[in-house]
């Protein structure tokens, strides 16, 4: 009796084993995967000292929320300098400078008038051989020199009256705009809604340009990668809407969109398919899952529901 009971128990065990193997092989016909989430590693393109951290790890934040503030006093000083320079250029020369330049022109013009009279008189006296050639040349040279001085003074007055060149104004405005951009980079904000994953800095730390200050999980949109046989490719083109079922949400369907289909076939990873299925090549498909209510979580396992699921690819004998 004991031997018969042992044989019966062994038969039942083998039957359950084979039944379990059959169910595992069947479950591989429905592609499944795990929800993943994108994360952003936020940093400032310009370095500075951390002065304030407005969030804690695990906080939910909205798009545009201020997360981290840095300070760089040298940037503020440089901005003040450029603003002062721009104001000076836009205002142009002071009235006193213009008046001084105009008075200089008038004074030199008066001296030139006198020098021209002396030049004409000296030439007349030289023609009558009353003065020497040296005296005549001295009077002529003085008149020529004063004429050039009047032209130079008039040019300076014209420059003052014209004001600052537009090109110089544009240059200073461009420098100021660049500096304002650098100062805005001292305030690190959330690019979209998400959850603070980690804050690897503390107040007082000096961050180099580009060094991570906040890690943000972008949970507005999840994604999942599944591996499908060739027979599914006709229904899974990029942009195609698909339906998912999650184990943790029985009775509920989840909408997604095919974002990418692999260009080349590959072997399915060993941990998601039975040994009999590993010899079949499959294509990786990335599916984007909107998560506006933030009720889906990374790590949930889900199955892809597709019209091709009713007629799976034939198995290799």
pLDDT score at 253? 87
C-alpha–C-alpha distance, residues 286 and 268, integer Å = 14
**DSSP string for 2-52:** HHHHHHHHHHHHHHHHHHHHHHHHHHTTS-EEE-EEEEEEEE-SS-EEEEE
The angle subtended at Cα 34 by Cα 31 and Cα 35, nearest 5°, is 125
Does the predicted TM-score (pTM) go above 0.85? Answer: no
CB 243 within 8 A of CB 252: no
- Name the token pair of 175: 């420098």
C-alpha–C-alpha distance, residues 33 and 304, integer Å = 8
pLDDT score at 154? 85
265-273 LR contacts (CB < 8 Å, sep 24+):
265/230, 266/227, 268/227, 269/227, 272/28, 272/32, 272/33, 272/227, 273/28, 273/227
In the predicted model, residues of the chain with pLDDT beneath 50 are 1-28, 307-317
pLDDT score at 316? 40
pLDDT score at 94? 78
pLDDT score at 196? 92
- Residue 259's nearest CA partner among 36, 92, 81 is 36
Neighbours of 42 (CB within 10 A): 17
């Amino acid at each position: 009796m004991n031997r018969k009971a042992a044989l019966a128990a062994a038969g039942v065990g083998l039957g359950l084993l084979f039944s379990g193997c059959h169910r595992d092989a069947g479950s591989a016909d429905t592609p499944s995967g795990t929800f993943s989430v994108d994360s952003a590693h936020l940093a400032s393109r310009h370095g500075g000292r951390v002065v304030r951290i407005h969030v804690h790890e695990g906080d939910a934040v909205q798009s545009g929320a201020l997360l981290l503030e840095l300070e760089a006093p040298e940037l503020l000083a440089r901005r003040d300098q450029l603003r002062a320079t721009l104001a000076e250029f836009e205002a142009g020369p002071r009235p006193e400078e213009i008046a001084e330049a105009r008075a200089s022109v008038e004074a030199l013009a008066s001296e030139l008038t006198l020098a021209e009279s002396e030049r004409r008189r000296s030439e007349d006296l030289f023609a009558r051989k009353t003065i020497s050639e040296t005296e005549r040349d001295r009077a002529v040279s003085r008149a020529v020199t004063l004429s050039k001085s009047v032209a130079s003074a008039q040019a300076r007055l014209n420059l003052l009256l014209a004001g600052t060149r537009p090109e110089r104004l544009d240059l200073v405005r461009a420098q100021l705009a660049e500096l304002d951009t650098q100062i805005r980079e001292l305030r690190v904000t959330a690019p979209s809604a998400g959850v603070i994953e980690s804050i690897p800095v503390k107040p007082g730390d000096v961050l180099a340009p580009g060094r991570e200050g906040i890690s943000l999980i972008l949970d507005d949109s999840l994604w999942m990668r599944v591996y499908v046989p060739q027979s599914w490719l006709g229904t899974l083109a990029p942009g195609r809407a698909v339906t998912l079922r999650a184990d943790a949400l029985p009775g509920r369907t989840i909408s997604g969109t095919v974002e990418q289909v692999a260009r080349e076939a590959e072997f399915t990873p060993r941990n998601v398919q039975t040994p009999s299925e590993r010899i079949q090549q499959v294509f990786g498909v990335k599916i984007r899952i909107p998560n506006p209510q933030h009720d889906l979580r990374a790590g949930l396992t889900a199955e892809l529901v597709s019209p091709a699921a009713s007629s799976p690819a034939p198995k290799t004998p």
